[in-house]
Structures are given as structure tokens and as C-alpha cells.
Amino acid sequence: MTEFLKRLLRTPQGAIGVAIVGLVLLVVIIGPWVAPHDPESLAPLQRYKGSSLTYLLGTDQYGRDIFSRLLIGARATVIMAMLATLAGTVVGALIGTTSAFLGGRADEAIMRTIDAVMSIPSLLFALLVVNLLGSSIVNALVAVAVAFAPGMARITRSVALSVRKQDYINAAIARGESARFVIVREMLPNVIAPIIVEMTIRVSFAVMLFATLSFLGLGAQPPAAEWGLMVSEARRYMHLSAGILIWPSIAIALVAIGFNLLGDGLRDALNPRA
Amino acid sequence: MTETTKTPVLQIDNYSLDYRTATGAFHALRNVSLDITPGEILGLVGESGSGKTSLAWSIMRYLPGNAREVGGAIRLGGEDLAKKSAAEIGAIRGKRISMVFQDPSTSLNPTLSVGRQLSEVLMRHRGLTRKQAWAEGEEMLARVGLKTPAQMMARMPHEASGGEKQRVVIATAFACNPECIIFDEPTTALDVITSRQILNLFVELQAETGVASLYISHDLALVSRTAKRVAVIRRGEVVEQGEVSAIFHDPQNDYTRQLIAAVPNPAIRLVESRPDATAAPLVKVENVSVHYGRKPFFAALTGRAHERVVGNRAVSLSVQPGEILGIVGESGSGKSTLAKAMTGLNPFEGKIWFDGKSISGVSDMDTGYRKDVQIIFQHPDASLNPRHRIGEILSRPLKLYGGEGSGSQAQKIGDLLEQVSLPRSHADRYPHQLSGGEKQRVAIARAFASKPKLVICDEITSALDVSVQASIVRLLLELQRVHDTAYLFITHDLNLVRQIAHRIAVMYHGELVEIARAEDISSPDRADYTRRLIEAVPIPAGTTAAAN
């Protein structure tokens, strides 16, 4: 484990990725306690302020402290993105591995269905799900998870196909192991490395997808401090104070970049020979 | 030997090479000194990881970035290669030194025609025009014994067989009349009969051109038949070198002696037992055929005929209890296909009788059958799940079939490890922490965990070094004596199978050619294909042709 961390930190992408993601997770955990102001207290006299010592990143259209809102909004934004990705990954990985294990006609049927689902752009698909289920943060989570599962299934299957040909799978089948054991215990542990890499990269997409959904008014609802929603609300006031729009956008970009770099670093660390 | 007075073409003088790794310097070669005079074949023999290929690449001046040359020199015709510039080396490679690789299917570019690749060398080093080079290339191909050189020039590599491809590679190596050619295991990837032909071609061309050759191989028997002098390399050090006859008849070094003793010799039988021929057979395979590929959906819809690939064609054989039945044949002859059919990994047509029960498909293979019939695969790297500990790997058969006797699970796993002479503490390790031979022992322990009546060994020693192979074979025979297990021993190594099998089945293109008792396999009234196979196998040095 320590050797793995060393390998991860040796590459610049890995080191920067770990630093950014670590910082983001720190904010997620302790954000609400260190926030200097109440994120929802309105102050009509303090609207559109620039950066100052009282308001580190200025205030928004209602005079709320942007820095505090970012710190508190991190929970809604980042945790949701991670949960959605995790759910999508687990479902996708199981479908992909099962499909590779079954092979033949069953594989064809599963993969063509996946292809059909994948042909719908993920944002549109998420919009469809949210529209059907109603706009709430849990439904947005489900929507993103469902939108991610087919892609993960496809990636997992491509790796699982090569694992399927290995002799330890043959040995397990010749031994008379159940299909469930072969899929979960023999195959899944060997496809996990590329899945983890893909997952970290997808977290950044999920953050952006959530932000987009919130921006369109289908995810978090005001007055929540979700970052995408903050950008959406700031849109009308940006000519009065650009900071309202820029700071949450930077936060979203930072998380996306951090997870992307971490994914790159993990890919190198998990495949030392590649 | 007057040849030793000639000035050497290639002179390796006290050469050392290190690789820098994360854990410190790895000494790949230490103080290697070799000379090759014109017209001489020097055999370089060593096991995997001994530094044979590192030496080849340092002669070709193509080393990875982490290589450090610590000392010594490599001289070609008296010039130190290490002092040459990259451009000078480029002019030397292919013209003065060339190389023949192990696997012709990867050393030819699959997207360029054979003629293009051959004529490129001629154009680059001999300044010929494209037309001249093409004509010259045809001549070269004719010289290496290809029947239709003009057509071959136009073909793509995938349209040629393995033997033909290796001939093309050899033609390319000889194209510019180099002073020195390095052969890096040129026949390892080929079938027995093909590799014998390639070897004959090599000896012929070598005699004709008088090129100095460095012949790298792990196969002692093979080297003893081609080379005049042999150097034995171990862990980067040349432990012994000298004339072939001297090395093989009077080896000075312990390691050389060990290596020579480990080479399978068909004259020495390792099994004395004799199975009861009158007993009811344990397994009877009746007309088992295997076809690969399923009918495409559209072909089924339109009623178009569909040719299936044949893996096995009506194979029938039987194994007595406690008998070792060897199955030999070239790659693609259907040996492994039969093993897979018998373990339910391939669907098959026909019938298998096991212990009086009839089995006509995968669904008939119940837990009892699975328990009694175990399979061991070729590559232990592939057959042990890299993410499972050894203890977990060995616990599965115990869980599935219920280990006999009392004692805890850990106790039983420890016993299994001890049975294959591994320490009990290995249960906590992962497969990658074990050597190749140890991994194969774990695979054997797993197969024997259920106390099976039949164990199918699918090329289980061919991925191992010769000395490890000998110890694995000893272990198998020991287990056979204790448990009276029957083996289906699949291999392409005729010498080995003649040592241990009671009867030998020969397969060719998915069909069973014949089954003969091991003692009778070399008799002249065997089938034509069997005789060709026997003739093609190099007999280890030190034994006379009388064994044949």
C-alpha cells in the first residue's frame, strides 16, 4: 500500500491530483465549521461586494458570502458526484463482467441494449430521467448513475473479455464453481484497476453534469448552495459583479481537474509496467 | 582446430552490463568474454533471465534507457562498437551484423508485404534501386528454400505460414552478406518438424556463406547439434565455454552438469510401474469431436451453409487406472482441445465414459466427475488468479468437494503445500511472489486437493526452464506412485513423454494418428507422421543415435 502511494505521488499528475482531491475532501468534511458567515443570511446593504477581509471572495446578489457558500456547497456538489459515479460504476461493472462471462448470444443481447442506451447523449438522458421522476437532488443522482452505467459496462466488458480467456477462469469453471463466484470473486478483482481509473475521471464529469442539471433548474433547488446552482443564479447579475459567477465556476473546474489528474496518476500507478 | 588462429569477427571482451531499477542496480551481464571467428557457430545456452538476450541487444547496440555499460568492450572486426555514433551504428546494423528473432509473426511488420520488407534492407545497405532490390529479394527467397519466391514477395506476412515467415526473416538477415548474425531462439516459436527444417537451412546457409553466428537458445539438445562451441551462461556470467563434445561429455562446472542432467533423455525411463491392462478402463473417449465457432445469425436466417472450424475429429482413446498416457502433436493439433472437452470447457459431440458412467455433454459433468477429473494448465501465471492468496486458491477445491479427514482448513492447506514440497507459510503469499516452478507446484497441489483419479496435464512443463521442468516431473511421478492417479500428459516434447508415459498418442490436425506403447514409438512400423516427428526431434548430446 505504501509502495503504491509512492508510485502515485512520483508522477506530477498523481501528486497534483492527490493534493487537489485531498483539499476538496478536506473542504467537504470541515467546510461547514470553518465557514466565516451564515451562507443563507441576506444582507441587502452588502450586495455585489468585491474581495475584502470580511468577505474573502466577495458577496452575491443577496449579499451572501460567496466563500462560505462554496465551503458549504462542496458537500452537496462533490459527495453527490461521487455517489452517483459509484452507483453507476458498480452497476456498469457488474453488467459488463457478467456479459463477458456469459459470452455468445447473451453477450450480444446485453451489449446491443447498452449500445442503444449509449446512443442517447448522457445529458439528455439525465434530463429525461429527472423529468420523468421529478426534479430533486436524489433523482438527479439516479439520473447521473443511469447515464454512466452503460459506458462503465462497455469499458469493464472489454477488460473482462481478456480476463475471461485466462486459465484461472477455465480452472474455476472446470472445478465446477458457480457463475456468481466466477464473476464476483475471480473476474471482478482482476478488472478493478481500469475501473477505478475510469471512475475517478468520471467523478469530474459527474460534477459537471450535476452542475449542468442544477444550472437548468433540474437538480438542487434554491436557496441550496450547490455550485452549479450558484452559477445559474449568478448569470443574470454577472455584469454587476463578475466574482459571483467566476468563483463557483473555478471551484467546479478545480474539482474536475483534480479528479482527472488523480485518474491519470492512478492509471500509471496501477499499471507499473505500462 | 586451426580456426582458433583466425582473428575473431566478433570479440566480446570482459563486458559487463547493469540495469538501473527502483531497487538498485541489477547486474545483467558480468565480465562476459566471447570470441566468434569467421565461419563459426557459437551456441549461447542459458535459462530464462540469464542475460542471453541482453547480450544480443548490447551487440546490436539497442539497449533500454536504464542500461549502464560498466566495463569491457564489444568489437566487430577490431572496432569498438561502443565508440560508434548512432549514424555509424545504423550503417552497421543489417549490413555487418544482423539478427533473427524468436517469433517470426511479431518480427515482420503485418502491414507491409514480405517483398517490401526484404527489399528495404537491400535498398538501404546496398544502394540498389527498388527494381533491382525486388529481383535480388526473389533470389534470396529462392535461396532459403521457398518454392514460389515471386508470389511470396507479394504476400503479406499473415498469408505465410510460421516456417515460411521465419525463412523470410533468415533471408533478410543474410541479405547483405553480414559478417555476423545473431540468432535469438529462432526455432522456439515453431513446430517440431518445421523447426528441424529451419535448423537444416541455417546450417546449410551458414556453411555456404561462412558467416560468424551467435546462436542463442535455452535448448541444450538443439545447440549441441548446430554449434561447434558452446558457452553456458548463468545469471549474467559465462560459467563454462568450450567445444560441444567437451562440454557435453566432460562438463567441468556444476551448473553445466546439472543442466545436462536435466535434459530429458528418451533412453532413460523414469517410470517402472505398469498399469493393469486387463482392468476396466478409467476413461474411455469415444468419437469425440469438437467444433469451434457458432453459426452466424444471418447464415442461419438465410440458410447459407456454414463451415465450422474443426478442433477434434472423432478422437477415441482410453486410459487405464494409474496409467500415464502421453499425447503429443504440434501446436494446433487438437491436444488442448481434447483436454478442454474432457473438463467441460468446450462443448463436444460424442461420448466419454468415466468409471462406467456415460457423459455426453457438459451438463452430465456433476460434482463427482469434477472431483475425479482435474486439469493443470500450461502457464501457472495464467492459471492462478493473481488477486487471490495461495491459501484461498487451495481452499476452493476443499470447499467444493469437501476435503477428507479431520483438521482445520488451514491445516489441510498446509498439508497440500507440503505434499508438493512447498513451505506451509506460502499460504499467505500472492502468486506473483513465487517463482515459476513454485507457482506450478501450487497448481499441482490444487489439482490433487480433491484426490482425483485422472489429472490432465496440459503442457505443464513447457513454460518452465529445463532444470525446473525436471523437478516438476519428479514431483508428478512421486504423486502418481503415492495416489495411483492416471495422467493424460499433453506435451510437444517427445523426449520427455518417452521418459514417463506408458503409452503415447500422436495427434495431427485434430485427428488421432495412432496410439503406441512408449517402448514401440520409435519402431519403424509406426505411422508415417510419427516417424517424421521422431526424426525431427533433436536427441540430447551425450546419447548416441542408437537410442533412436
Residue B539 clears pLDDT 80, i.e. is over it: no
**Rounded-to-integer distance, Cα B1 and Cα B19, Å:** 38
Closest residue in B to A189 (Cα–Cα): B387
Query: What is A2-270's CATH topology?
Result: MetI-like fold (1.10.3720)
| The predicted structure's pLDDT at residue B440 | 93
Confidence of residue B1 (pLDDT cuts 50, 70, 90): very low
Which chain B residues are Cβ-neighbours of A175 within 8 angstroms? Answer: 370, 396-397, 400
Is the minimum CB–CB distance between B344 and chain A shorter than 8 Å?
Answer: yes
State how beta strands B212-217 and B180-184 pair.
parallel
Q: Using a cut of 0.80, tell me whether the model's pTM lies above it.
A: yes
> Which of A1, A105, A175 would best serve as a mutation to test chain B binding (most B beta carbons within 10 A)?
A175
> What does the alpha-carbon distance between residue B198 and residue B169 come to, in Å, rounded to a whole number?
11
How does pLDDT run along chain A (274 residues), one tens digit per residue? 677 788 888 888 889 999 998 998 998 888 788 777 777 777 777 777 777 777 777 777 777 888 888 888 888 888 888 999 999 999 999 999 999 999 888 999 999 999 998 888 888 888 888 888 887 778 888 888 988 899 999 999 999 999 998 899 999 988 888 899 999 999 988 888 888 888 888 887 888 788 788 778 777 777 778 888 888 888 888 788 788 888 888 988 888 889 889 888 888 787 654 3
Interface contact A168, partner B, CB < 8 A: yes
Share of chain B above pLDDT 90, in %: 28
Of B303, B149, B208, B193, the C-alpha closest to B537 is B193
**For position B544, what pLDDT does the model report?**
43
| Over residues B307-319, mean pLDDT | 84
- Grid look-up 527444417 returns B197
**Chain A partners within 8 Å of B386 (Cβ):** 190
Residues 89-108 of A with CB under 8 A from B: 104
Report pLDDT digits (tens) over B183-223: 998 888 788 888 888 888 988 898 888 899 999 988 887 88
The pLDDT score that the predictor gives to residue B375 is 93
Among A166, A174, A177, select the one facing B343 at the smallest CB separation: A174
CATH 3.40.50.300 segments of chain B = 3-262, 283-547
Q: How far is B393 from chain A (nearest CA, A)?
A: 10
What per-residue confidence (pLDDT) applies to B4?
46
Does any CB of chain A come closer than 8 Å to the CB of residue B131? no
In angstroms, the CA B275 to CA B335 distance is: 23
The whole-chain average pLDDT of chain B stands at 86
Specify the higher pLDDT residue, A20 or B332: A20
Nearest Cβ partner for B382 among A168, A173, A174: A168
Q: What is the pLDDT of residues B231-263, one digit of tens each?
A: 999 888 999 988 888 888 888 888 888 888 888
pLDDT digits (tens, 9 = 90+) for B413-453: 999 999 999 999 999 988 888 888 899 999 999 999 989 99
The predicted structure's pLDDT at residue A272? 54
- Residue of B301, B365, B375, B387 best to disrupt the A interface, most CBs of A under 10 A: B387
Q: What pLDDT, in 10s, does the model give residues B337-368?
A: 899 999 988 888 889 999 888 888 888 888 88
Residues ≥6 apart with Cβ < 8 Å to A159: A191, A194, A195
So what's the pLDDT on residue B547?
Answer: 35
Q: Which residues in B lie closer than 8 A to residue A173 (C-beta atoms)?
A: 344-345
CA B319 – CA B335 distance, rounded (Å): 15
Tell me what pLDDT residue B249 has: 83
CB-CB: which of A173, A176, A189 is closest to B387? A189
Q: Read off the amino acid at residue B65.
A: G
Helix (H) or strand (E) holding A164: helix A137-164
Give the pLDDT score at B545.
39
HSE-up (13 A, CA, CB side) for residue A79: 14
Shortest distance between the Cα of A224 and any Cα of chain B, in A, equals 44
**Bridge partners of B232?**
B45, B240
Q: Which CATH architecture has domain B3-262?
A: 3-Layer(aba) Sandwich (3.40)
Query: Which among B345, B379, B388 is the nearest to A174, CB-wise?
Result: B345
B385, B395, B488: which to substitute to probe chain A, counting the most A Cβ within 10 Å? B385
The secondary structure of residue B48, as a DSSP letter, is T
Check residue B155 and report its DSSP letter: S
Instruction: Give contacts of B294 with chain A, Cβ < 8 Å.
Output: 104
CA distance B280 to chain A (A): 25
Domain spans of chain A? 2-270
Using an 8 Å Cβ cutoff, are B36 and B212 in contact? yes
Tally A–B CB contacts below 8 A.
49
| Each residue's pLDDT tens digit, B150-186 | 888 999 998 888 888 999 999 999 988 899 999 998 8
A170 lies within 8 A of chain B by CB: yes
Contact yes or no for B377/B317 (Cβ under 8 A): no
B325, pLDDT greater than 90:
yes
Closest CA to B327 of B488, B191, B461, B523: B488
Rounded distance between C-alpha atoms, residue A272 and residue B296, angstroms: 40
> B87-114 burial, b for 16+ CB within 10 Å, e for fewer?
eeeeebbbbbbbbbbbbbeebbeeeebb
> If you measure CA to CA, which chain B residue comes closest to A3?
B22
Task: Tell me the chain B residues in contact with residue A190 when contact means C-beta distances shorter than 8 Å.
Answer: 385-387
B283-547: in CATH 1.20.120.140 = no
Compare CB distances from B400 to A104, A176, A185 and report the shortest one's residue: A176
Scanning every residue of chain B, which has its alpha carbon at the shortest distance from the alpha carbon of A174?
A: B343
